[in-house]
A and B are shown apart, each in its own frame.
Chain A
Amino acid sequence: MLLELSDVRVHYGKVEALRGISLTVDEGEIVTLIGGNGAGKSTTLKTISGLRPVTSGTIHFEGRSVVDTPAHKLVERGLSHAPEGRGIFPGMTVVENLEMGAYARKGGRSMVTAELDRVYGLFPRLLERRSQPGGTLSGGEQQMLAIGRALMAGPKLLLLDEPSMGLAPMLVAQIFDIITEINRQGTTILLVEQNAAQALRRAHRAYVLETGRIVRSDTAAALLDDESVKAAYLGGDISPDDPEASGTPG
Chain B
Amino acid sequence: MTAGAIYALIALGYTLVYGVLRLINFAHSEIFMIGIFASLFAIDGLGIDVTDSPKTGLTLALTLGAVMVVAMLTSGFLAVAIERIAYRPLRRRGAPRLAALITAIGVSLFLQELFAARYGREFLGFPRVLEKRKLFTFQGADVRSDKVLVIVAAVVLALALERFVARSRLGRGIRATAQDAETAALMGVNIDRVVMLTFFLGGVLAGAAGTLYGVFFESARYDIGFLPGIKAFTAAVLGGIGNIRGALLGGILLGLLEKWGATVLGGEWTDVFAFTVLVVVLMFRPTGLLGESLGRSRA
Residues on A lying within 8 angstroms of B by beta carbon are 49-51, 70-73, 75-76, 80-81, 83, 87, 89-93, 96, 99-101, 103-105, 133, 135, 149, 153
Contacts and interface: CB of A to CB of B under 8 A. Distances in A.
Given A96-B172, A133-B298, A87 B188 contact: no
Contacts of B188: 72-73, 75-76, 103-105, 153
B244 to A, nearest CB: 12
A90 B292 CA distance: 12
B187 A103 contact: yes
B296 A135 contact: yes
7 contacts: A72-B189, A91-B293, A91-B295, A92-B175, A99-B172, A100-B176, A101-B187
Nearest to A93: B298
Contact of B185 (A51, A90, A99, A135): A51
Given A91-B295, A91-B298, A133-B298, A103 B172 contact: yes
A99 B171 CA distance: 13
Nearest to B293: A91
In which size bucket is the chain B interface? 20 to 34
Best-surrounded residue of B172, B175, B188, B296 (most CB of chain A within 10 A): B188
B191 A72 contact: yes
B175 A103 contact: no
9 closest A-B pairs by beta carbon, nearest first, are: A104-B188, A87-B183, A91-B296, A75-B188, A71-B185, A89-B179, A103-B188, A103-B187, A100-B187
Contacts of B184: 100
Interface of B: 169, 172-173, 175-176, 179-180, 182-191, 292-293, 295-298
B22 to A, nearest CB: 16
Given A72-B189, A75-B187, A153-B187, A90 B176 contact: no
A76 B190 CA distance: 12
Given A90-B296, A96-B172, A135-B296, A103 B179 contact: no
A50 B189 CA distance: 13
B179 A72 contact: no
A160 B193 CA distance: 27
Contacts of A99: 172
Contact of B186 (A71, A93, A96, A133): A71
B176 to A, nearest CB: 6
Contacts of A93: 298
A63 B184 CA distance: 26
Nearest to B298: A91
B199 to A, nearest CB: 18
Given A71-B185, A100-B172, A153-B188, 18 more contacts: A49-B186, A50-B185, A71-B186, A72-B185, A72-B191, A75-B187, A76-B188, A87-B180, A87-B183, A89-B179, A89-B183, A91-B292, A91-B298, A92-B172, A96-B172, A99-B172, A100-B184, A103-B173
Contacts of B189: 72, 100, 103-104
Given A133-B298, A135-B296, A81 B186 contact: yes
Nearest to B182: A51
A122 to B, nearest CB: 19
Contact of B190 (A72, A89, A91, A133): A72
A195 to B, nearest CB: 22
A165 to B, nearest CB: 16
Contacts of B292: 91
Contacts of A153: 187-188
Contacts of A51: 182, 185-186
Best-surrounded residue of B185, B191, B293 (most CB of chain A within 10 A): B185
A90 B183 contact: no
Nearest to A71: B185
A101 B173 CA distance: 11
